[in-house]
Chains A and B, each alone.
Chain A
Amino acid sequence: MENKVKVCVENLNVHYGEKQALFDVCMDINQNEITALIGPSGCGKSTFLRCLNRMNDVIDICKVEGSIKIDGQNIYDKDIQVEKLRERVGMVFQKPNPFPKSIFENVAYGPRIHGLAKDKTELEEIVHTSLKKAAIFDEVKDRLDETGTSLSGGQQQRLCIARAISVNPDVILMDEPCSALDPIATAKIEALMEDLKKEYTIIIVTHSMQQAARVSKKTGFFHLGNLIEVNDTETIFSTPANDKTLDYVTGRFG
């Protein structure tokens, strides 16, 4: 049974000044699934991911063409408020980047600026639920006042996931979330992703093909700014349609 399409990308072209980073990318991403994006460094997969919540807006020279529709609405339309968009499309970064504030403040920040909680109890409620969903509550419940940066790398990353889900998004973007973590922390994050996909649509960029194979339902392979192939993960790793994909997943280049 196919899930409903959540994100629909059509003819996406991205330029950084003179240099074109993405060429005519078209891709459908299904709801409540984990979609993995793989490819060698500099292939445009992170650029693609950052288009989905318009993080590229910060870069002056970046120009985006084409359309990205989330639930049928083009997020590059003029009347879209980028702050509202990022409330719906959360992001977790490669290096854990908790704010140098308390664990509580880290998670409470998003709900507070969006006015999601009416009073202090509600805010606490949101923070606790988010921490629980990110499977870190038990580890930090007694020290919510300590700074987020005092946690271990894996805990920090789960705190960042809690921060991302605190504003109740539909989609979570993960940009190589485990590349700075050890295998045990990685396993915890992967297990967490399995849980999270019941509620959220997850798109993950990863350098580890094993990780893509382990967690994702669908995988897209990027090469030199082109989306070469996107298909069920099993197909990509066993019988890909494109030779380049086969070369990459079997480790012949990249």
Chain B
Amino acid sequence: MNSNSLKISNENLKRRLNAERRFKFYGVIAISLALIFVLILFTNIISKGYSAFYRTLIEIKIEFNDKVQPEMFKQMSDTEINKLDLYSFSKKNIYSNFPDIEKKSDKKKIIKLFSIEFEEEIKTYINKNKNNLGNKINLYISASDDIDQIHKGNYSRDIPEERRRVSNFQLSIYDELVGQNKVKFEFNLPFFSRGDSREAELAGLGGSLIGSFFTMIIVLLLSFPFGLFGAIYLEEFSKRNRFTDFIEININNLAAVPSIVFGLLGLGILLNTFELPRSTALVGGITLSLMTLPTIIIATRASLRSVPPSIREGALAVGASKVQTVMHHVVPLALPGSITGTIIGIARALGETAPLLLIGMVAFIVDVPSSPLDPSTSLPVQAYLWNDSAERAYEEKTSAAIIILLSFLILFNLIAVFIRRKFETKW
């Protein structure tokens, strides 16, 4: 090689290396952009939503009297106490915490500082402590959603009074309470146990969590066995002909069908033809199973196909029948891949909203469902519902619901990755 040709090829090499460097640079930019967007999304949602995980409580003093004596609760069962009418007793006791206020309209405003269910909260306290009640007790009851928002700093006090939901008078009382150290934060456990409510401070995720749980159980029970055995049959037993080709094309198409179409199917067939109960996890689960099924079939077939033919031959050669070969050797090896696909499919179904809107899981449901046959909502639908509500306090709840939903999705995906890493067989 003469020196001239060496030089030319050197320039060529430089060009190639530069191209490589450029390519890497584009890749880094693309990934950084994606990460930045994810980061923005997460900071936005978390900063808006984290405050929903704690709630504001206000300390009040209760004095028993001749009519309502602490001793009378000792003989009563929980349900009996809950049936008592302590409304005016509770209200009067709250008023007596503010002896300076005498005007009736002001008293009404004071009551509005507290959650609308103050009577229930007082009863709950009595229930818990019925055996050692003194004549005077101090307890914390929930603040109303507006005070809650102000205490969390989500709601500006600088808005002119006529456009503010909390009047100047109420603010001065609130400031007084803060000054007396009677306002505190607590972990918002009811948020996870209660159903939806028109009162923002009472609205919780419990109903939709249970609804989503029932829905996912139905999806798992329906789509995993059908998907698994469908895939095994198609991949291992069916003969290749036009009919199976047709089925295969349709399964692939089905995986790409917009989810709302499945909602229409659920509405038309499950609700209108079979008259299954509307708004229930059962119908939601069946609808979402139809959507998850193709995903599971495709994932399972891919993992069945990746089992090397030599394993099948080895089993056949010692005299195993076709079914024995598939069930003893091929399916166990394909199962991790299939389970991974199922988890990812279920994670998708968990975040799905559109089909549920069509089958009525978007209703306002206060009771926490106790079976898949009870009306319920699901996590993403709950976020959608809260997002539509006017009160300020629903904003943090919307974000909090999304945080919970995202945590479940991340958890599911982690499990899927873990199963794939742990159980995949290397050849």
Contact = CB atoms under 8 A, between A and B. Distances in A.
- Taking residues whose C-beta sits less than 8 angstroms from the other chain, chain A's interface range is 20 to 34
B112 interface: no
A205 to B, nearest CB: 14
A93 B309 CA distance: 12
B317 interface: yes
A90 B315 contact: no
B225 interface: no
A99 interface: yes
- Taking residues whose C-beta sits less than 8 angstroms from the other chain, chain B's interface range is 20 to 34
Contacts of B333: 100
B173 interface: no
Given A83-B320, A84-B319, 16 more contacts: A55-B317, A87-B318, A91-B313, A91-B317, A93-B313, A93-B317, A97-B311, A98-B314, A99-B315, A99-B329, A100-B311, A110-B319, A113-B319, A113-B324, A164-B317, A164-B318
Contacts of A53: 317
Contact of A58 (B316, B318, B319, B328): B316
Contacts of A113: 318-320, 324, 328
B425 A160 contact: no
Contacts of A110: 318-320
A149 to B, nearest CB: 8
B128 interface: no
A217 B119 CA distance: 100
A60 interface: yes
Nearest to B322: A58
B239 interface: yes
B319 A167 contact: yes
A238 B60 CA distance: 112
B314 A86 contact: no
A109 B239 CA distance: 28
A95 interface: yes
A99 B240 contact: no
A167 B240 CA distance: 33
A163 interface: yes
A87 B314 contact: no
Contacts of A91: 313, 317
Contacts of B312: 58
Nearest to B312: A58
